[in-house]
């Protein structure tokens, strides 16, 4: 699964890396402990719309947007369930009512400097941080949705609370690959740069051969580019936020060291 990650890079750097236009309006700030329900930066592609809201099928715009982590389906009565839907399993997303519409046409990338996962032992819960050794962003495959409040029979004034609606996202997860499985049996679905164009294309659905091929475990070669290191349990508290969260924990403080290191490998193409 994916329940925390780090998103440190400035929007200008992310826009350059993902070949997108920055539409975050300066909202994004460095966050070393991104947690569910926070605003997160996402890369999306959409057809631009005219003044009447009609999309132009001949053009596609790739932008950086701020979304809330925790997907709220468009048909939800309220937004309270978003905090529980931070992840979607690739094996079942196409069948789940909460995710299948987004998988068809509203896929996104959530750029991360790295993500945290917890190794659970009999008497410990050790966090690990996974990142690319060359410092490039990890492209977490995600889904996004737009939710607009309806008339609420319980009397809540949701339209006043969310006058512009709510745009939310979740992270797709898959079976862990290689040494990552020593920490947890699940991991985020990570996309190499060669997959970004097909994944973001709003005109390609999950039945498209190129998109369907991406709904699989990352390759061992891609995972080999990553480093996995134990970090301080301070990351467990969402109120802790700073670069020290990424520091490697001294070996003597690691309850159950991993048996196999991740080694740097070739860049993905």
Question: How far, in Å, CA of 85 to CA of 71, rounded?
Answer: 5
pLDDT tens track for 141-184: 999 999 988 766 554 666 776 777 899 999 999 999 999 999 99
Catalytic residue (one of 2, 45, 108, 170): 2
Phi and psi angles of residue 24, each rounded to the nearest 5 degrees, phi first: -85, -10
Catalytic residue (one of 45, 117, 145, 170): 117
Phi and psi angles of residue 147, each rounded to the nearest 5 degrees, phi first: -115, 130
* Both structure tokens of 194: 């060669």
Question: How far, in Å, CA of 48 to CA of 12, rounded?
Answer: 21
Question: How far, in Å, CA of 143 to CA of 206, rounded?
Answer: 12
Where in the chain are the domains? 4-122+137-219
Q: Of all residues in the chain, what percent are helix, strand and coil, respectively (each to 5)?
A: 20, 30, 50
Question: How far, in Å, CA of 18 to CA of 22, rounded?
Answer: 10
The answer to whether 144 touches 70, Cβ cutoff 8 Å, is no
Active-site residue, 117 included: yes
Q: Burial code of 144-166, b = ≥16 C-beta within 10 A, e = fewer?
A: bbebebeeeeeeeebeeeeeeeb
Active-site residue, 256 included: no
- pLDDT in 10s for each residue of the chain, 269 residues: 689 999 999 999 999 999 999 999 888 889 999 999 999 999 999 998 887 778 888 889 999 999 999 999 988 888 877 678 999 999 999 999 999 999 999 999 999 999 999 998 777 889 999 999 999 999 999 999 999 887 665 546 667 767 778 999 999 999 999 999 999 999 999 999 999 999 999 999 888 999 999 999 999 999 999 999 999 999 999 999 999 999 999 988 887 788 755 444 444 43
Pairing of strands 186-188, 87-89: unpaired
* Both structure tokens of 13: 């750097």
CATH of domain 4-122+137-219: 3.90.1680.10
What pLDDT is stored for residue 36 in this prediction? 95
What pLDDT is stored for residue 153 in this prediction? 54
Question: How far, in Å, CA of 216 to CA of 202, rounded?
Answer: 19
């Amino acid at each position: 699964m994916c329940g925390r990650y780090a998103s440190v890079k400035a929007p200008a750097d992310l826009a350059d890396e993902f070949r997108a236009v920055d539409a975050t309006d300066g909202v994004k700030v460095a966050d070393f402990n991104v947690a569910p329900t926070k605003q997160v930066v996402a890369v999306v592609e959409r057809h631009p719309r005219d003044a009447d809201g009609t999309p132009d099928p001949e053009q596609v715009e790739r932008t950086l947007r701020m979304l809330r982590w925790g997907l709220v389906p468009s048909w939800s009565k309220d937004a309270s369930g978003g905090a529980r839907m931070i992840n979607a399993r690739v094996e079942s997303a196409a069948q789940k009512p909460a995710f299948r519409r987004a998988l068809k046409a509203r896929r996104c990338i959530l750029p991360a400097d790295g993500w945290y996962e917890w190794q659970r032992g009999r008497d410990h819960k050790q966090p690990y941080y996974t990142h690319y050794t060359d410092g490039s962003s990890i492209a977490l495959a995600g889904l996004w949705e737009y939710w607009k409040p309806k008339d609420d029979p319980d009397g809540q004034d949701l339209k006043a609370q969310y006058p512009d609606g709510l745009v939310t996202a979740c992270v797709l997860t898959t079976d862990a690959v290689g040494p990552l499985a020593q920490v947890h049996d699940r991991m985020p679905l990570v996309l190499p740069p060669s997959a970004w164009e097909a994944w973001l294309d709003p005109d390609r659905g999950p039945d498209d051969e190129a998109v369907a091929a991406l709904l699989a475990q990352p390759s061992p070669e891609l995972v080999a580019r990553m480093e996995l290191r134990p970090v301080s349990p301070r990351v467990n508290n969402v109120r802790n936020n700073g670069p020290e969260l990424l520091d490697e924990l001294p070996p003597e403080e690691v309850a159950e060291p991993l048996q196999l290191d991740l080694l740097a490998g070739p860049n993905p193409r």
